[in-house]
Amino acid sequence: PSGLVWLRRDLRAHDHAALTQALRQCQRVWCAFVFDTDILQPLLDRGLRADRRVEFIHESLIDLDEQLRALGRSNGTEGVGLLVRHGRASEEIPRLATQLGVQAVYANLDHEPAALARDAQVRGALAHAGVLLHMGKDQVVREHHEVLNQGGRPFTVFTPYKKAWLQTLSPSDLQPHPVERYADALAPCPPALSAGVPTLEAIGFVPSNLRELKIRTGSRGALALLEDFLARIEHYGQARDYPALKGPSYLSVHLRFGTLSIRQVARLAHELHQQGVAGASTWLSELIWREFYQQILAHFPHVVERAFKPAYDRIRWEHGKAAQAHFAAWCAGQTGYPLVDAAMHQLNQTGYMHNRLRMVAASFLCKDLGLDWRWGERYFAEHLIDFDLASNNGGWQWCASSGCDAQPYFRIFNPVLQSEKFDPQGKFIRRYLPQLARLPEPRLHAPWRAPAAELEAAGVALGRNYPSPLVDHFEARQLTLERYAVVRAES
């Protein structure tokens, strides 16, 4: 038999569940990726031709194509490569399957509702042609149905989930899927079906600032980042909370697009944790948080639209013109709270935001500006290069207190104290808000508290080159406690 591997968010040619399964079961295997117009056209319709994610995928496909060619060559087969299509996945995959005459298509599971709907369509179209669609587990170490409580129900609290995740982990969960061992089944692309990656322009896009940012793409980029991180993992526990430091791994984008295998990362984290290497257990915990939110999305897909805890849908968020203006200021990094603004500039300029700052910026939106968490969630979804529906939704609902195992609603981050604590020397703020760079430290966290002479000496003119605060935190805090009172009875 022959098979087609349909790659989506698993853009690598090693330790790959669907690819290994196809290679083991078929004599001839081809690999394909579809630039899906159902996803891309809405961006182009909004004039968004420079998109870091599209470019990240594009660069990673070039790397993947090379890896496949090299795998083919090492088995004496020339002409192996990636088939790239541009169109609707629900049409392109069945068409390719027919053109290649395969009996089965292999892909990896994706529990995002839009992905499930797309896959159901593809499955239906393939079935018409008598072609099977096989789904592998690749995006997570443990699927949502593999870690359940004693009653067979999903966990909704992280700590017992993590305990069960670790206790029921079997070595096979972390074992790599050895593509290389079976790679002799990789078949050359038929000349009639042009292989290779089209240019970015050919799919309607133009370069973003990805290269300028030196964001490393593809599996090669992922492995270089991983190596860099492992050399400093001992400091992860302390350094990860300080946005001015190179503390975290910066691997999220690679886990998002599967240029790195989650099994490989989790195996490493688990081994280092067992060896007692400092930082490894915290890092492993973060990887388990990722799986926790993945299983929440899979079990409770209503979270995409609504609060995990229904009572929180009764909250009346600010709306109308003033609310819209506050939202626009938040998006543009113009709230007058330097740490929040620096965070938003980091997101807008680079597509990344430090985890501590995601919490601070999200909390500010819901609990200082009184805006619906879904507004912020959508903005992050549009701008984060590592955007992942499950983690983003989980993170936002955690901050808005509406999620499972979320921050209690009466815990409200003070953006000035967060700034003093996590950017004590103001290094991060200075990097993204150069107009405040000459303010001395204590003032940098709350410029409106600085005496006029100090502001003048530092060249800061509030309301002119840096905004006055949009809201007073203490008043906002009071309003938030009143706003959240509707949920008190059920919290």
Q: Which residues make up the interface to ligand FAD (CB under 6 A)?
A: 240, 248-252, 255-256, 286-287, 289-290, 293, 355, 358-359, 362, 380, 384, 386-388, 391-392, 394-396, 399
List the catalytic residue out of 6, 30, 396, 398: 396
Residue 462, SS3 per DSSP: strand
Please tell me the total number of residues recorded for the chain in this structure: 491
Shortest CB 273 distance to ligand FAD, Å = 13
Tokens representing residue 443 in the block: 């003032």
Q: Is 387 annotated as a binding residue?
A: yes
Q: Is 432 annotated as a binding residue?
A: no
Q: Is 388 annotated as a binding residue?
A: yes
Q: Which is nearer to ligand FAD, 184 or 286 (CB)?
A: 286
Q: Give me the phi and psi of 181, to 5 degrees please.
A: -65, -30
330 catalytic? Reply is no
DSSP classification of residue 277: -
Nearest Cα neighbor of 447 from 340, 326, 328 is 340
289 catalytic? Reply is yes
- List, in order, residues 6 or more apart from 474 with CB less than 8 Å away: none
Q: Which is nearer to ligand FAD, 182 or 398 (CB)?
A: 398
Tokens representing residue 366 in the block: 């819901």
CA distance 172 to 168: 11
Q: Which is nearer to ligand FAD, 15 or 386 (CB)?
A: 386
| Type of residue found at 381 | A
Tokens representing residue 348 in the block: 């807008």
Shortest CB 260 distance to ligand FAD, Å = 9
Q: Is 161 annotated as a binding residue?
A: no
List the catalytic residue out of 165, 373, 375, 398: 373
Q: Which is nearer to ligand FAD, 219 or 249 (CB)?
A: 249
CA distance 419 to 417: 5
List the catalytic residue out of 143, 317, 382, 420: 317
Shortest CB 391 distance to ligand FAD, Å = 4
Distance of CA 269 to the CA centre of its chain: 19
Residue 439 near residue 450 (C-beta atoms within 8 A): yes
Q: Which helix (H) or strand (E) holds 30?
A: strand 28-36
Q: Is 256 annotated as a binding residue?
A: no
Residue 259 near residue 277 (C-beta atoms within 8 A): no
List the catalytic residue out of 180, 286, 441, 454: 286
Q: Which is nearer to ligand FAD, 17 or 266 (CB)?
A: 266
Q: Is 290 annotated as a binding residue?
A: yes
Q: Which residue is nearest to ligand FAD (CB)?
A: 395
List the catalytic residue out of 66, 355, 382, 420: 355
Cβ neighbour number for residue 440 with a 10 Å cutoff: 11
Shortest CB 43 distance to ligand FAD, Å = 17
Residue 466 near residue 336 (C-beta atoms within 8 A): yes
Q: Is 291 annotated as a binding residue?
A: yes
Q: Is 229 annotated as a binding residue?
A: no
Q: Which is nearer to ligand FAD, 135 or 245 (CB)?
A: 245
Shortest CB 165 distance to ligand FAD, Å = 13
373 catalytic? Reply is yes
Residue 181, SS3 per DSSP: helix
DSSP classification of residue 148: B
DSSP classification of residue 190: P
286 catalytic? Reply is yes
CB-count exposure of residue 18 (10 Å: 0-12, 13-18, 19+): buried
CA distance 159 to 161: 5
Tokens representing residue 418 in the block: 């967060």
Q: Which is nearer to ligand FAD, 193 or 224 (CB)?
A: 224
Return the active site residues: 286, 289, 317, 355, 373, 396
User: Which residues are known binding-site members for FAD?
Assistant: 236, 283, 286-293, 386-388
